[in-house]
Chain A
Amino acid sequence: MRHAEKNNKGEKTVRKLSEFLKPATVEETVELLIERPGKRKLLAGGTGVSVTDSQQIDGLIDLTGLELDYIEEAGEQLALGAVATMRQLESSDLLKQYAGGVVAEAAANVGTTPLRNMITLGGSLAQMRVWADLPPVFLAVDAEIVVSGPEGEQSYSAVEFFSKHPTRLLDKSCLIKQVNLDQKLADYRGNYEKFAMTSDAYATVTVTVLAELNDGIVTNPRIAIGSASPFPTRCTAAEEALEGQKFSQELAVKAGKLAREEVKTTDNVWGSASYKSKLIEKLVKRNLLQIAE
């Protein structure tokens, strides 16, 4: 939560704007970033820029000319362009059919419709707020995050990407270009649930569960928790407990309890650490039961 004293200064924005650049390619964008490090900010949907309070930044680089707003099949993968909006993600038939629709569902739970029309995939990942809905889902599906920078393209596994804040992980002259989803997971059963005070409030806790289920046997389970702590968490102990087991109510309860132990929850305005722990236990169980139905 922001301290109100900061809010007293009036509108927060990029105060001295002297450049507005609209590159046509990713390479050109990276060059523009290298040219004046720390002075230019990437502008995609604008929701992040609108709350950026900076005396240093005086240029904006508009990413809407890069044609990075695609959601398409690319061989073994689903490729999501970084400038695709939350609204595009939630409306995409490809994503609705991917792993129980977890990515589409998470996108549909971001903020309000007007915000979802603006917020982009790349912008959301670059800021990686505690409450962000997509990181835990990408962690669950082992997404690959493709970043372009001075050294060319580099891919990060979700585990690596979500281990620290992007400002500490990535070079300042990088941009997130694409997220790849493994098509092998497309037929997994999956569920995403956001617990929040109101429908458009930031999440207190989010739970993503995925698994294959054949003749009642669970394989390749994935459980990821968001918003309960500064970074999303994969619950590997809970996953191990599920792997190869015959699904039952008791198994779901057990996985919930294990998941609860695995996340070091923190207090914030949306809930106390202890309540979040309780929610994790319950929501993991509930969502496992739902995918097993």
Chain B
Amino acid sequence: MRENIPDDQLRYVGKETDRVDSIEKLTGKARYTGDLRFPGLLHAAVKRSPHARARILNIDISAAEKMAGVHAVLTGKELNYKLGLYLVDKDVLARDMVRHHGEAVAAVAAETPKLARQALDKIKVEYQVETPVLDALEAMQDNSRLVHPGLDEYDYFKPAFTPQPGTNIANQTKIRKGDIDRGFSEADHIFEREYTNPNVQHVPMETHVAVASWKEAGKLDVSTSCQSPFTVRNLLCVAFNLSHKDVHVEVPYVGGGFGGKAGIGVEPLAACLSKKANGQPVKLEASREEEFSLLPCRCGLTYQIKTGVSNDGKIIAQKMTMIWDSGAYADYAVNVTRASSYSASGPYEIPNAHVDGYTVYTNKPYGTAYRGFGHVEFSWGMERHMDYMAERLGIDPLEFRLRNALKPGSLTLTGEKILPSTGNVTACMEAAAEAINYGELTEEERAREKRTGRKIAKSVSALHKAPAMPSFTATAAELRMNEDGSINADLSLTEYGQGTYTALTQIIAEELKFPPEKIHLSIKGDTEKAPYDWQTVASKGLLMSGNACIKAVQDLLDRAYNDAAQVLRADPCDLDHDADKIFIKHHPDENVSFSDLAVGYALPNGQGIGGPLIGLGRYMAQGLTNLDKETGQGLPALDWTYGSHGVVLEVDLETGEFDIIQVASAFDVGKTINPQAVRGQVIGGMIQGLGTALCEGYAYDSEGHLLNPSFTDNKIPTAKDIPEKIEGIVVETPQIDGPYGARGVGEHSMIALCGAIGNAIYWASGADLTHMPIRHEDVWWALHNTDKDRQRARYSIC
């Protein structure tokens, strides 16, 4: 929508705009869930399993229950509720069996946090420890112990997922395109490798926190730090058999999510505790350590790729096997599997493709959505694989990418035809390559090599991602004009740092011709007051809510024009408006102000015309379909955002130490709505990408205990760890159904970065890495030791 308006005709869209929420956040005025005050508030604490897998023989809560000030003590025994986004496999508290280290087995609500913790100490749990299933590949073997012996009894979302009862496979996604066998037989070269990723934690600044009040007659109020208020409401209603009208979810400011708050988290347990405490409000706030294993993480991945290529460097066939380690529960992992399966090749055309994506249960903390939704993980393997093949074919890796890139007329893995308006990954690669001076070292870089004794190399990677969402995803926006002609807007996208609310304010302003200062978009999410949105995930917010906002403005203006037509005794087709008034085009002095129309126009004699000016806009994904379960063919993608990273780095060949000198990233955003917000997403995501590329990841011991659940032992990069030079570049191929041509860029800056780093390290040093994260030590091992030599440190990230 509005995708072809020249820049000079745009007032607010495309212009640098300060974030609408920055002052409140920077001055500490913004109120988060943890800041809210409730009379009679109780504090929850959670008893967690010290074992990865064990039978619960007995839980003695008698001593805890007797403590003064303790209002509720719960175990799984009395909570017969099942939870699950796509596959309903999780209890609120473990019943009979614990399936991962850190799983909740009992919980307490008491008058102070300290008292709650003391009560926890009094709860005695008897376990019968069992050997955990820790390796996803072993878990797929026929003789593996089952994490969920009752898989056949679970309900699941049947159009999209295929659990395999009697196994640990929670879902298998199949994609079949062309003729894979013929493709391989026609290929001149076959390349086959395996690439791996560990679990990673999202580490939002604000940990999960919810306050629940289970009132009389099945009414439930929840304030929570979440991404998706309506999904939280729906899952609570389904789990507890409550009516949607009776469950009220409000979401104040949220301090980051990154997918970790996409679904449901601590809300159900807080609600159960409140019910047990006779409706007193209960606050459950996760500690940083609880974030790592009470709450979910990014899935681990083993990615096996077999590719057939012709002598002239065209990929003919590719077989891709993705083994997603979902941990103890399926949560979003089944959909990560589905979405990454249909994108598995990266932005390259594969005429004959075969993808098997498996979601595999293990006895580890469970996997969920994480910025990139599987694409960061598989792009690591895919992008390393591209360079691995290019070297053996004797083709420059960038040239190899360009030869195989998706372009107009190409068919994706699911048979979707790429159009000129889909976006331009070639332009992204070319822009990134130019920014890093790909293909040669500058004089300055040569001098640096001489000075440091390190080797400098460059690489360019490419990426794509479409929103992973149901084909029928929907949203709505509501506008209300106030007495002074200003606008209050409501929608249920959660602003947890992306900057979308600022961009939507610009879109509303542009469409209304009002300055953004006249528009207030309520940051607080509220299922009783704001219209529905499915979830704030998948980089779909700007496109879908942007369209809903445009439609809401049209709706409001329709009403305003009709009312003004009566006031001015004119036909609406002869009217136009500016920021203050509606006027007759050929008699501009004949006008009526918005402030006079806002809540209904009053004639001088007291008679009224019209009514309060409101506008509603709905938007639903158009033309998408389910994927065929046997072939994976169909239309899953709302839009594809393409991108590319150019990386320059230097490696010390003796020790494997490396420094990233430059990252230049280009994305086809369709149309930049707010350059500041795009820059924020590009740099922020890139640095988060650096974290998972270089240092983050879960470490377990042989019994499945998580060893590094803290910022002490699981490091994330800080401002002092960023590359010397960072550049964000936009390519703008308008998205025809995007608002002003825009498409989302919330996740993409993380994707394929690690591949670019791994490739540049290889070209600089010869260190051939297939596991991320890449630590300096890993480079050293790869350079100076054989795998056999390596006694992987007990605490290695795996």
Determine whether B117 belongs to the interface, using a CB cutoff of 8 Å to chain A: yes
Closest Cβ–Cβ distance, residue A200 to chain B (whole Å): 6
Mark each residue of chain B from 351 to 377: 1 if its CB lies under 8 Å from any CB of chain A, else 0.
Answer: 000000000000000000000000000
Tell me whether A268 and B795 are in contact (CB under 8 A). Answer: yes
Determine whether A80 belongs to the interface, using a CB cutoff of 8 Å to chain B: no
**Which residues from A are CB-within-8-Å of B718?**
112, 198-200
**Bound state CA distance, A278 and B655, in angstroms?**
7
Mark each residue of chain A from 190 to 204: 1 if its CB lies under 8 Å from any CB of chain B, else 0.
Answer: 000001011111100
Tell me whether B707 and A3 are in contact (CB under 8 A). Answer: yes
Given contacts A1-B713, A269-B713, A282-B655, contact A199 B708 (CB under 8 A): no
Tell me whether A4 and B707 are in contact (CB under 8 A). Answer: yes
**Which residues from B are CB-within-8-Å of A201?**
695, 715
Tell me whether B777 and A275 are in contact (CB under 8 A). Answer: yes
Tell me whether B721 and A199 are in contact (CB under 8 A). Answer: yes
Determine whether B82 belongs to the interface, using a CB cutoff of 8 Å to chain A: no
Determine whether B791 belongs to the interface, using a CB cutoff of 8 Å to chain A: yes
**Which residues from A are CB-within-8-Å of B655?**
278-279, 282
Residues 1-24 of A contacting B (Cβ, < 8 Å): 1-5, 7-11
Tell me whether A269 and B707 are in contact (CB under 8 A). Answer: yes
Determine whether A267 belongs to the interface, using a CB cutoff of 8 Å to chain B: yes
Tell me whether B720 and A197 are in contact (CB under 8 A). Answer: no
Determine whether B208 belongs to the interface, using a CB cutoff of 8 Å to chain A: no
Closest Cβ–Cβ distance, residue B562 to chain A (whole Å): 59
Residues 267-286 of A contacting B (Cβ, < 8 Å): 267-269, 271-272, 275, 278-279, 282
Tell me whether B710 and A269 are in contact (CB under 8 A). Answer: no
Mark each residue of chain B from 771 to 798: 1 if its CB lies under 8 Å from any CB of chain A, else 0.
Answer: 0000111001100100000010111000
Closest Cβ–Cβ distance, residue B124 to chain A (whole Å): 14
Tell me whether A272 and B791 are in contact (CB under 8 A). Answer: yes
Given contacts A275-B777, A282-B655, contact A7 B795 (CB under 8 A): no
Residues 431-489 of B contacting A (Cβ, < 8 Å): none
**Bound state CA distance, A235 and B780, in angstroms?**
24
**Which residues from B are CB-within-8-Å of A5?**
50, 705
**Which residues from A are CB-within-8-Å of B48?**
8
Q: Which chain A residue has the least Cβ–Cβ distance from B120?
A: A10
Q: Which chain A residue has the least Cβ–Cβ distance from B705?
A: A4
**Which residues from A are CB-within-8-Å of B45?**
10
Q: Is the interface of A mostly helix, strand, loop or mixed?
A: loop
**Which residues from B are CB-within-8-Å of A282?**
652, 654-655
Given contacts A7-B709, A112-B718, A282-B655, contact A1 B121 (CB under 8 A): no
Tell me whether B50 and A198 are in contact (CB under 8 A). Answer: no
Tell me whether B777 and A272 are in contact (CB under 8 A). Answer: yes
Determine whether B289 belongs to the interface, using a CB cutoff of 8 Å to chain A: yes
Given contacts A1-B708, A200-B720, contact A7 B289 (CB under 8 A): yes
**Which residues from A are CB-within-8-Å of B699?**
269
**Which residues from B are CB-within-8-Å of A279?**
655
**Bound state CA distance, A267 and B120, in angstroms?**
35
**Bound state CA distance, A2 and B48, in angstroms?**
17
Closest Cβ–Cβ distance, residue B36 to chain A (whole Å): 22
**Bound state CA distance, A56 and B721, in angstroms?**
41
Tell me whether A269 and B793 are in contact (CB under 8 A). Answer: yes
Tell me whether B794 and A267 are in contact (CB under 8 A). Answer: yes
Determine whether B521 belongs to the interface, using a CB cutoff of 8 Å to chain A: no
Closest Cβ–Cβ distance, residue B120 to chain A (whole Å): 7
Closest Cβ–Cβ distance, residue A205 to chain B (whole Å): 10
**Bound state CA distance, A198 and B48, in angstroms?**
30
**Which residues from A are CB-within-8-Å of B707?**
1, 3-4, 269
Of the candidates B289, B715, B794, the one whose C-beta lies within 8 Å of that of A198 is B715
**Bound state CA distance, A9 and B717, in angstroms?**
28
Given contacts A199-B718, A200-B718, A269-B699, contact A4 B102 (CB under 8 A): yes
**Bound state CA distance, A268 and B45, in angstroms?**
32
Determine whether B706 belongs to the interface, using a CB cutoff of 8 Å to chain A: yes
Determine whether B605 belongs to the interface, using a CB cutoff of 8 Å to chain A: no
Of the candidates A4, A267, A269, the one whose C-beta lies within 8 Å of that of B709 is A4
**Bound state CA distance, A197 and B372, in angstroms?**
24
**Bound state CA distance, A100 and B50, in angstroms?**
48
Determine whether B101 belongs to the interface, using a CB cutoff of 8 Å to chain A: yes
Tell me whether B795 and A11 are in contact (CB under 8 A). Answer: no
Given contacts A199-B718, A200-B720, contact A271 B705 (CB under 8 A): no
Q: Which chain B residue has the least Cβ–Cβ distance from A111?
A: B712
Tell me whether A4 and B293 are in contact (CB under 8 A). Answer: yes
From A5, A7, A195, residue with most partner B Cβ within 10 Å:
A7
Mark each residue of chain B from 257 to 300: 1 if its CB lies under 8 Å from any CB of chain A, else 0.
Answer: 00000000000000000000000000000010100010000000
Determine whether B79 belongs to the interface, using a CB cutoff of 8 Å to chain A: no
**Bound state CA distance, A2 and B701, in angstroms?**
12
Closest Cβ–Cβ distance, residue A290 to chain B (whole Å): 12
Determine whether B716 belongs to the interface, using a CB cutoff of 8 Å to chain A: yes
Closest Cβ–Cβ distance, residue A130 to chain B (whole Å): 13
Closest Cβ–Cβ distance, residue A33 to chain B (whole Å): 28
Of the candidates B721, B775, B780, the one whose C-beta lies within 8 Å of that of A278 is B780
Closest Cβ–Cβ distance, residue A156 to chain B (whole Å): 29
**Bound state CA distance, A1 and B708, in angstroms?**
8
Closest Cβ–Cβ distance, residue B59 to chain A (whole Å): 15
Tell me whether B716 and A269 are in contact (CB under 8 A). Answer: no
Q: Which chain A residue has the least Cβ–Cβ distance from B790?
A: A272
**Which residues from B are CB-within-8-Å of A199?**
718, 720-721
**Which residues from A are CB-within-8-Å of B654?**
278, 282
**Bound state CA distance, A139 and B775, in angstroms?**
29
**Bound state CA distance, A112 and B117, in angstroms?**
29
**Which residues from B are CB-within-8-Å of A271?**
777, 793
Closest Cβ–Cβ distance, residue B714 to chain A (whole Å): 9
Closest Cβ–Cβ distance, residue A255 to chain B (whole Å): 15
Tell me whether A198 and B706 are in contact (CB under 8 A). Answer: no
Q: Which chain B residue has the least Cβ–Cβ distance from A268?
A: B795
**Which residues from B are CB-within-8-Å of A198?**
695, 715-718, 720-721
Q: Which chain A residue has the least Cβ–Cβ distance from B116?
A: A10
**Which residues from B are CB-within-8-Å of A269?**
699, 707-708, 713, 793, 795
Closest Cβ–Cβ distance, residue A275 to chain B (whole Å): 5
Q: Which chain B residue has the least Cβ–Cβ distance from A199?
A: B720
Closest Cβ–Cβ distance, residue A124 to chain B (whole Å): 16
**Bound state CA distance, A68 and B657, in angstroms?**
40
Closest Cβ–Cβ distance, residue A167 to chain B (whole Å): 21
Closest Cβ–Cβ distance, residue B524 to chain A (whole Å): 30
**Which residues from B are CB-within-8-Å of A7?**
289, 709-710
**Which residues from B are CB-within-8-Å of A272?**
777, 791, 793
Q: Nearest 8 A-B pairs (CB), nearest first? A: A199-B720, A269-B795, A10-B117, A5-B50, A272-B793, A198-B715, A275-B777, A201-B715
User: Footprint of A on B, CB under 8 Å?
Assistant: 45, 47-48, 50, 101-102, 117, 120-121, 287, 289, 293, 652, 654-655, 657, 694-695, 699, 705-710, 712-713, 715-718, 720-721, 775-777, 780-781, 784, 791, 793-795
**Beyond A8-B47, A269-B713, 17 extra complex contacts between A and B, CB < 8 Å:** A1-B708, A1-B795, A2-B713, A4-B708, A9-B121, A198-B695, A198-B720, A198-B721, A199-B720, A199-B721, A267-B794, A267-B795, A268-B793, A269-B707, A272-B777, A275-B781, A278-B780
7 contacts between A and B (CB under 8 A): A1-B707, A5-B705, A198-B715, A200-B715, A267-B794, A268-B795, A269-B793
User: Footprint of B on A, CB under 8 Å?
Assistant: 1-5, 7-11, 112, 195, 197-202, 267-269, 271-272, 275, 278-279, 282
